[in-house]
Amino acid sequence: MVEDLEQITKDLERHVKLAEDRLNQLKYLQADFENYRKWSEKEKASVIALANESLIKDLLVILDDFDQAIPSLEKEENREGLLMIRKKMMKILGEYGLQPIECVGKKFDPHFHEVISKEKCQQESDTILKDFSTGYQLKSKVIRPSKVKIAEQIAENVGDNYGKREDYWD
Protein backbone atom coordinates (compact mmCIF):
# COMPACT_ATOMS: atom_id res chain seq x y z
CA MET A 1 0.00 0.00 0.00
CA VAL A 2 2.87 2.39 0.77
CA GLU A 3 4.36 1.50 -2.59
CA ASP A 4 1.08 2.27 -4.32
CA LEU A 5 0.93 5.61 -2.51
CA GLU A 6 4.48 6.42 -3.59
CA GLN A 7 3.64 5.47 -7.19
CA ILE A 8 0.50 7.64 -7.12
CA THR A 9 2.51 10.57 -5.69
CA LYS A 10 5.14 10.19 -8.44
CA ASP A 11 2.43 9.99 -11.09
CA LEU A 12 0.74 13.05 -9.60
CA GLU A 13 4.02 15.02 -9.60
CA ARG A 14 4.70 13.94 -13.18
CA HIS A 15 1.19 15.01 -14.26
CA VAL A 16 1.45 18.32 -12.38
CA LYS A 17 4.81 19.01 -14.12
CA LEU A 18 3.30 18.04 -17.47
CA ALA A 19 0.33 20.35 -16.83
CA GLU A 20 2.69 23.22 -15.90
CA ASP A 21 4.73 22.61 -19.07
CA ARG A 22 1.59 22.65 -21.21
CA LEU A 23 0.37 25.80 -19.45
CA ASN A 24 3.70 27.51 -20.18
CA GLN A 25 3.51 26.39 -23.83
CA LEU A 26 0.00 27.79 -24.02
CA LYS A 27 1.17 31.12 -22.54
CA TYR A 28 4.01 31.32 -25.10
CA LEU A 29 1.59 30.53 -27.92
CA GLN A 30 -0.80 33.18 -26.66
CA ALA A 31 2.03 35.76 -26.49
CA ASP A 32 3.21 34.79 -30.00
CA PHE A 33 -0.31 35.15 -31.33
CA GLU A 34 -0.68 38.57 -29.68
CA ASN A 35 2.64 39.69 -31.20
CA TYR A 36 1.53 38.41 -34.61
CA ARG A 37 -1.79 40.25 -34.30
CA LYS A 38 -0.02 43.53 -33.44
CA TRP A 39 2.47 43.04 -36.29
CA SER A 40 -0.37 42.28 -38.68
CA GLU A 41 -2.23 45.46 -37.68
CA LYS A 42 0.94 47.54 -38.14
CA GLU A 43 1.56 45.96 -41.54
CA LYS A 44 -2.02 46.65 -42.61
CA ALA A 45 -1.75 50.29 -41.49
CA SER A 46 1.56 50.58 -43.34
CA VAL A 47 0.05 49.25 -46.57
CA ILE A 48 -2.90 51.65 -46.27
CA ALA A 49 -0.58 54.59 -45.57
CA LEU A 50 1.60 53.69 -48.56
CA ALA A 51 -1.45 53.45 -50.82
CA ASN A 52 -2.72 56.80 -49.50
CA GLU A 53 0.69 58.38 -50.02
CA SER A 54 0.85 57.19 -53.61
CA LEU A 55 -2.65 58.49 -54.37
CA ILE A 56 -2.01 61.82 -52.64
CA LYS A 57 1.27 62.29 -54.57
CA ASP A 58 -0.68 61.81 -57.80
CA LEU A 59 -3.30 64.35 -56.66
CA LEU A 60 -0.62 66.96 -55.92
CA VAL A 61 -0.34 67.49 -59.68
CA ILE A 62 -3.96 68.67 -59.70
CA LEU A 63 -3.28 71.04 -56.79
CA ASP A 64 -0.36 72.46 -58.76
CA ASP A 65 -2.65 72.97 -61.75
CA PHE A 66 -5.10 74.89 -59.53
CA ASP A 67 -2.26 77.03 -58.16
CA GLN A 68 -1.15 77.90 -61.69
CA ALA A 69 -4.65 78.50 -63.08
CA ILE A 70 -6.13 80.63 -60.29
CA PRO A 71 -3.82 83.68 -60.67
CA SER A 72 -4.54 83.84 -64.40
CA LEU A 73 -8.30 84.03 -63.71
CA GLU A 74 -8.11 87.23 -61.68
CA LYS A 75 -11.12 88.92 -63.28
CA GLU A 76 -13.13 85.91 -64.37
CA GLU A 77 -16.26 84.50 -62.74
CA ASN A 78 -14.77 81.01 -62.62
CA ARG A 79 -12.06 82.08 -60.17
CA GLU A 80 -14.29 81.75 -57.09
CA GLY A 81 -15.45 78.30 -58.20
CA LEU A 82 -11.90 77.09 -58.68
CA LEU A 83 -10.88 78.50 -55.31
CA MET A 84 -13.78 76.63 -53.68
CA ILE A 85 -12.86 73.35 -55.38
CA ARG A 86 -9.20 73.73 -54.39
CA LYS A 87 -10.21 74.51 -50.79
CA LYS A 88 -12.45 71.41 -50.61
CA MET A 89 -9.70 69.25 -52.08
CA MET A 90 -7.18 70.57 -49.53
CA LYS A 91 -9.67 69.97 -46.70
CA ILE A 92 -10.20 66.34 -47.75
CA LEU A 93 -6.46 65.72 -48.21
CA GLY A 94 -5.83 67.46 -44.88
CA GLU A 95 -8.10 64.92 -43.19
CA TYR A 96 -5.68 62.24 -44.44
CA GLY A 97 -2.75 64.17 -42.93
CA LEU A 98 -1.56 66.29 -45.86
CA GLN A 99 -0.12 69.66 -44.86
CA PRO A 100 1.63 72.25 -47.03
CA ILE A 101 5.13 73.18 -45.95
CA GLU A 102 5.23 76.87 -45.05
CA CYS A 103 8.62 78.27 -45.92
CA VAL A 104 8.87 81.93 -47.05
CA GLY A 105 10.82 83.89 -44.45
CA LYS A 106 12.05 80.76 -42.67
CA LYS A 107 15.52 79.22 -42.65
CA PHE A 108 16.42 76.69 -45.35
CA ASP A 109 16.17 73.10 -44.14
CA PRO A 110 17.28 70.37 -46.58
CA HIS A 111 14.71 67.99 -45.08
CA PHE A 112 11.86 70.24 -46.21
CA HIS A 113 13.25 72.40 -49.02
CA GLU A 114 15.07 72.07 -52.33
CA VAL A 115 17.08 75.10 -53.46
CA ILE A 116 16.36 76.13 -57.05
CA SER A 117 18.15 79.49 -56.97
CA LYS A 118 19.99 81.96 -54.75
CA GLU A 119 19.80 85.73 -54.63
CA LYS A 120 22.38 88.08 -53.17
CA CYS A 121 20.66 90.47 -50.79
CA GLN A 122 20.82 92.04 -47.33
CA GLN A 123 18.76 89.28 -45.66
CA GLU A 124 20.44 86.64 -43.56
CA SER A 125 21.95 83.78 -45.57
CA ASP A 126 19.75 80.74 -46.13
CA THR A 127 16.53 82.65 -45.51
CA ILE A 128 13.86 81.53 -47.95
CA LEU A 129 12.81 84.39 -50.23
CA LYS A 130 10.39 82.68 -52.62
CA ASP A 131 8.49 79.42 -52.89
CA PHE A 132 8.41 78.24 -56.52
CA SER A 133 6.56 75.01 -55.81
CA THR A 134 4.75 74.21 -52.57
CA GLY A 135 6.08 71.24 -50.66
CA TYR A 136 3.87 68.87 -48.70
CA GLN A 137 4.06 66.63 -45.66
CA LEU A 138 1.88 63.58 -45.16
CA LYS A 139 1.56 63.39 -41.38
CA SER A 140 5.24 63.82 -40.40
CA LYS A 141 6.77 62.51 -43.65
CA VAL A 142 7.86 64.92 -46.39
CA ILE A 143 6.39 63.58 -49.62
CA ARG A 144 7.49 66.54 -51.73
CA PRO A 145 9.98 69.23 -50.67
CA SER A 146 9.31 72.91 -51.42
CA LYS A 147 11.32 74.29 -54.34
CA VAL A 148 12.70 77.60 -53.09
CA LYS A 149 14.93 80.62 -53.67
CA ILE A 150 17.21 81.44 -50.75
CA ALA A 151 19.13 84.54 -49.71
CA GLU A 152 22.87 84.75 -50.02
CA GLN A 153 23.96 87.59 -47.77
CA ILE A 154 26.16 90.30 -49.27
CA ALA A 155 29.29 90.81 -47.21
CA GLU A 156 29.38 94.13 -45.32
CA ASN A 157 33.11 94.70 -45.81
CA VAL A 158 33.44 94.20 -49.54
CA GLY A 159 37.02 94.56 -50.73
CA ASP A 160 39.02 94.00 -47.55
CA ASN A 161 41.28 91.46 -49.27
CA TYR A 162 44.83 92.51 -48.39
CA GLY A 163 43.82 96.16 -48.24
CA LYS A 164 42.58 96.24 -51.84
CA ARG A 165 39.05 96.76 -53.01
CA GLU A 166 37.61 93.88 -55.04
CA ASP A 167 35.71 96.16 -57.40
CA TYR A 168 39.02 97.83 -58.32
CA TRP A 169 39.99 94.69 -60.27
CA ASP A 170 36.68 94.41 -62.15
Residue ranges of the domains in the chain?
A: 1-96, 99-155
- pLDDT at position 111 is 93
- pLDDT at position 170 is 44
- Residue 151 neighbours by CB under 8 Å, 6+ apart: 118, 119, 120, 121, 123, 124, 125, 126, 127, 128, 129
**pLDDT below 50 — which residues of the chain?**
163-165, 168-170
- pLDDT at position 156 is 61
Give the SS3 label for residue 123: coil
- pLDDT at position 140 is 86
Give the SS3 label for residue 131: strand
- pLDDT at position 161 is 52
For the domain made up of 99-155, give the CATH fold. Answer: Nucleotide Exchange Factor Grpe; Chain A, domain 2 (2.30.22)
Of residues 90, 108, 109, 110, the one with CA closest to residue 100: 90
